[in-house]
Structure 1
Amino acid sequence: MKNVGIFNQKNVLVLGMAKSGYAASQLLKKLGAIVTVNDRTPFEQNEIAQKLKNEGFNVVCGEHPLSLLENELYCIVKNPGIPYSNPLLIEAEKRNIPIYTEIELAYLISEAPFIGITGSNGKTTTTTLALNMLEQGNKQPLVAGNIGTVACEVAEKATSNNIIVTELSSFQLMGIDEFKPKISLVTNIFEAHLDYHGTKEEYVKAKANIFKNQSEDDFAIVNFDDENVMAMVKHSKATIIPFSSTKVVEEGAYVKEGSIYFKQQKVIEVEKIVLPGKHNLENILAAVAIAKLLDVDHAAIEQVLTTFTGVEHRLQYVTEIKQRKFYNDSKATNILATQKAISSFQKPVILIAGGLDRGNDFDDLIPYFNNVKNMITYGQTRDKLIDSAKKAGMKAVKSVDNVEDAVKEAFAHSEVGDIILLSPACASWDQFKTFEERGNKFIQAVHKLK
């Protein structure tokens, strides 16, 4: 760990607990900061706050009082999920107090370079693929961010022999100042998280921060088939490495004559790859680009691609019951992800969808309903999804209260050979804390059918 002196004896406010807030507090204390931790959950119900209090931290719970800004703050380190519309953050910006997320702290102390992976969809699969390829190629990678351990905890232990692979959200990227990945990657851009960012333009602006500090000695891997991504990267100073599943881009990763190539070198035949779906081919191309930029040999890449079957909650095969196959795609928290999930199957699909209402409709799903024979909806968006299904002429549509009931209903209306797919097209927060919890509930409900 680099010994960063900029926080020594400086007042720092950590806003929001959870894993990232706890890790940031611990790190800042080691760096000599005078740390105040603030969380909205009352102290009596807040185990992390109680633990930090016992460790000597100044802890304020129950609200976000503006009086916290009176301590000549050097900066605020906030939980990525707390929106900038929070009154305390609005006032902090008026006072020109810097607001970071813990990924910035991780970068400042890290001896290891970073790979930063972002996008609307495919981040987790691409991150996992890249990590596996680097491990197979003996590059000593460490994983952090939205998957794996909190980034600043990983950065504390990393050496210059490691490389830190991070999956980054738009929320995290809004809170960077100096963060500069050696390799950045944007999988795709789709309208998402408008409840947080307000507009698509603000969402794209946050994502584009991944390029902000890169120089010509760094690399930006970008989806050549995505107009939004290519527009984002126009102002980047990094060396651009495109990937495409539809065009030959000889300076990057692409498909030609049934094989994946990187910079005109054949890497692997597509038919050897076990991970299904066109969208996953894009994720694979992106991961291959990372691996080849770091000199991973073809054999190591092939070993991963001939054995990797996917990540949890992303088109995860669950089981087969009476010749009906069940797939858990709970990580599909937006429309684009569900479009890609549906498109991955040739057999008839019974779609289970619904969740948090972020204000959008679901008509963009209509062109993808051709092989959806039935849809079971639940949650805040269930009526909106039914409206879109009816516009598509789908006759078999039913609304239920929750995921468990949806599984029972889907099975009751299924036939031999059907695919029963949970791909919600919505965030999970109306009924669940996380998409993982939602996916696990789906899996439990499926196994109860047995």
Structure 2
Amino acid sequence: MKKLNDFPFSHALVLGLAKSGTAAAKVLLANDKKVRVNDRNATKEDEVVMQLQALGAEVIVGEHPLEVLDDIEIIVKNPGIPYENPIIVEAERRNIPIITEIEIAYSLVEGSIIGITGSNGKTTTTTLVTEMLEKSNQPVKVAGNIGIVAIDAAQSLKKEETLVLELSSFQLLGINKFRPKIAVLLNIFEAHLDYHKTMEHYVQAKCNIFKQQTSDDYLVYNADDPVITDAVRHAKALLIPFSTKRNLENGAWIDDEWIYFKDEKVMKLNEVVLVGDHNIENILAAVAAAKLDGATNEGIRKVLTTFSGVKHRLQYIDTIDGRLFYNDSKATNLLATQKALTAFKQPTILLAGGLDRGNEFTDLLPYLSSVKAMVLFGQTKGKLQELGHQAGIETMELVENVDEAVKKAYAISNAGDVILLSPSCASWDQYRTFEERGDMFIQAVHKLV
């Protein structure tokens, strides 16, 4: 197991297990650190608890007693645990540093890191960058918020390999030294305010991705996003903009025919198979990051002429009796659904609803012109029904879950319609994850055949 670089702490508290906490605890123990693990939802009989105890960790489960902070020098926090947690509040009062496992992963990496964040498009862009490098015969691994724990990828990463990381604002709050060679900032809009409380705090979390960069590094950023263009004025890295609206001599851009990087034609725009105007932004960001890390135009072209989407992100599922089914379960906020709706000109049946975070949906109104019907579920179905009334949509159906929504949508559809799952809400009122919700949609579609 690799040794940690520049980690001057001897006693760590790992707060929250799951995959990232377990990986962090194992690395710390292997580096002869004293480790205490605390997870309120775990039990003494859990396999991972017994495993960590056998490795020498002190494990406290079933509660969050303040005593877990005694003699602790640093906390490795699960990204999902809010900062209002009493343990975190007390730790901050005691000036105990709080990090996420991304910081530990960074201490294990010898090669280059590409870090990618944004309110939307992270997974698509991360996947594109990784595949562009692979198709260009560049050694690469992918991890982070995309499902593979960064520490696990860092453990086996060779010096010549690039680590591509998808990073959430939750993860970026817990970094101090993390410094990607290439940072990518896709977009920033109002999201996760139940966690961050204010837009200012959310923006600061996202901008942590370039906080430690120097003039030897690159920052790929969305030149069409005013929040981002304001924020990157303070960056020390070399700025590499991307834009769908204007020519850029020093970045990635498009005209009516071509995708460019700086003054070089990369490939023809009409060869791209990924649908959605918003995905052009993701593509430009990916082209810039990949080119900076050695990708070839041919490698990029191989990806963009075949890549049709990431699972649960405007993913084409099937065409049944002339109806086109798309799974956009990852659309957990308004902007994601707005972008999904702009991808289609055909009559669309929108399947939406989920966790009620207290927000309204009126910002969707201008995007509903092609929506002929709505099938609604979850805590927000009443709010979305009211939105449908405001938009003049005559056909609206209220159902209990995604499985019923697919059956109802198919029953009221015609050949040529798009049936789109784009919930505009988090899944946690009914499903553990957006992936689980999307999988139910896929299964329900396949049952129609």
Q: Shared fold (TM-score greater than 0.5)?
A: yes
Q: Which residue does 1:319 correspond to in 2?
A: 318
Check conservation: 1:361, 1:384, Cα contact below 8 A. yes
> What does the per-residue CA deviation read over 1:255-294, in whole Å, with 9 as the maximum and x for residues that have no partner?
0241011111110010111111111111111110011112
Q: In 2 relative to 1, CA 48–285 (structure 1 residues): closer, same or farther, beyond 3 Å? A: same
Partner of 1:396: 395
* SS of aligned partner of 1:164: strand
Distance across 2 between alignment mates of 1:137 and 1:3: 31
| 1:146 aligned residue | 145
Describe the shift of the 1:299–1:7 C-alpha distance in structure 2 as closer, same or farther (beyond 3 A): closer
The letter for the 2-side match of 1:36 is R
Match of 2:367 in 1: 368
Q: How does 1:242-281 map to 2 (within 5 A)?
A: 242-281=241-280
Give matches, 1:207-246, under 5 Å. Answer: 207-246=206-245
Q: Deviations over 1:346-377 (max 9, x none)?
A: 10000000111111111110000000010111
**Contact kept in structure 1, 2:6 and 2:107, CA below 8 Å:** no
Per-residue deviation, residues 376-408 of structure 1 (Å, max 9, x unmatched): 111111111112121112121121111111111
Letter in 2 for 1:354: G
CA distance in 1, matches of 2:5, 2:406: 55
* Whole-Å separation in 2 of the counterparts to 1:17 and 1:425: 29
Quote the residue 1:176 is aligned against. Answer: 175
CA distance in 2, matches of 1:7, 1:281: 40
Aligned AA (1:437) = E
AA at the equivalent of 1:316: Q
Residue 385 (structure 2) aligns with: 386
* Equivalent pair of 1:352/1:377 in contact (CA under 8 Å): yes
Residues 133 and 294 in structure 2, CA contact (< 8 A), matched pair in contact too: no
Q: What CA distance in whole angstroms lies between the structure 1 residues aligned with 2:165 and 2:308?
A: 21
Query: In the alignment, what sits opposite 1:117?
Result: 116
Which amino acid is the alignment partner of residue 242 of structure 1?
P
User: Aligned runs of 1:39-50 on 2, under 5 Å?
Assistant: 39-44=39-44, 46-50=46-50
The one-letter amino acid paired with 1:304 is V
The equivalent residue for 1:108 is 107
Percent of residue pairs bearing the same amino acid type:
55
Quote the offset at 1:15 in angstroms.
Answer: 0.5
Q: Is the 8 A contact 1:18 1:48 kept in 2?
A: no
After the TM superposition, which of the residue ranges 330-339 and 294-303 deviates more from structure 2? 294-303
Range moving further from structure 2, 61-70 or 39-48: 39-48
Give the TM-score of the pair, scaled to structure 1: 0.97
Paired residue type of 1:93:
E
2-side partners of 1:262 and 1:8: how far apart?
42
In structure 2, the partner of 1:89 is 88
Note the residue ranges of structure 2 that are not aligned, 5 or more in a row: none
In 1: Cα distance, 2:168 partner to 2:437 partner:
20
Cα deviation code 1:117-150 (max 9, x no counterpart):
0000010010000000111112201101011421
Letter in 1 for 2:297: H
The residue number in structure 2 matching 1:424 is 423
SS in 1 for 2:351: strand
Question: Equivalent residue for 1:20?
Answer: 20
More off after superposition, 383-392 vs 2-11? 2-11
SS in 2 for 1:3: coil
| DSSP 3-state at the match of 2:413 | coil
Matched residue, 2:330: 331
Give the whole-Å Cα distance in 1 for the aligned partners of 2:102 and 2:10.
Answer: 19
Matched residue SS, 1:149:
coil
Counting only pairs closer than 5 Å after superposition, residues 331-370 of structure 1 correspond to structure 2 as 331-370=330-369
Distance (whole Å) between structure 2 residues aligned to residue 44 and residue 383 of structure 1: 42
| C-alpha contact (below 8 Å) 1:112/1:155 kept by paired residues | no
Aligned-partner residue type, residue 228 of structure 2 = V
Alpha-carbon deviation of 1:298? Answer: 1.1
Question: Equivalents in 2 of 1:192, 1:161: separation in Å?
Answer: 36
Give the partner amino acid of 1:188: N
Matched residue, 1:37: 37
Contact 2:114 2:162 in 1 (8 A): yes
AA at the equivalent of 2:234: H
Q: What are structure 1's unaligned runs of at least 5 residues? A: none
Cα 1:396/1:5, change in 2 over 3 Å = closer
Q: Distance in 1 between matches of 2:5 and 2:124?
A: 37
Corresponding residue number in structure 2 for 1:435: 434
* Structure 2: distance between partners of 1:45 and 1:386: 46
- Report the CA distance shift for 1:413/1:145 in structure 2 as closer, same or farther (over 3 A): same
Post-superposition offset of 1:8:
7.0
Partner of 1:3: 3
Residue 153 of structure 1 and its aligned partner are, at CA, apart by: 1.2
What's the secondary structure of 2:423's corresponding residue?
coil
How far off is 1:302 after superposition? 0.9
Number of residues of Structure 1 aligned to a counterpart in Structure 2: 449
Q: Which position in structure 2 is the counterpart of 1:187?
A: 186
Residue 9 of structure 1: how far off its partner (Å): 7.4
1:370 is paired with a residue whose SS is coil
What residue number does 1:164 align with?
163
Deviation at 1:446, TM superposition (A): 1.2
Is the Cα contact below 8 Å between 1:8 and 1:31 reproduced in 2?
A: no
Alignment correspondent of 2:284: 285
Task: Report SS of the residue matched to 2:375.
Answer: strand
**2-side partners of 1:295 and 1:152: how far apart?**
24
User: Which amino acid counterpart does residue 358 of structure 1 have in structure 2?
Assistant: R
Contact 2:5 2:107 in 1 (8 A): no
- 2: distance between equivalents of 1:89 and 1:108? 23
Between 287-296 and 349-358, report the one with greater CA deviation: 287-296
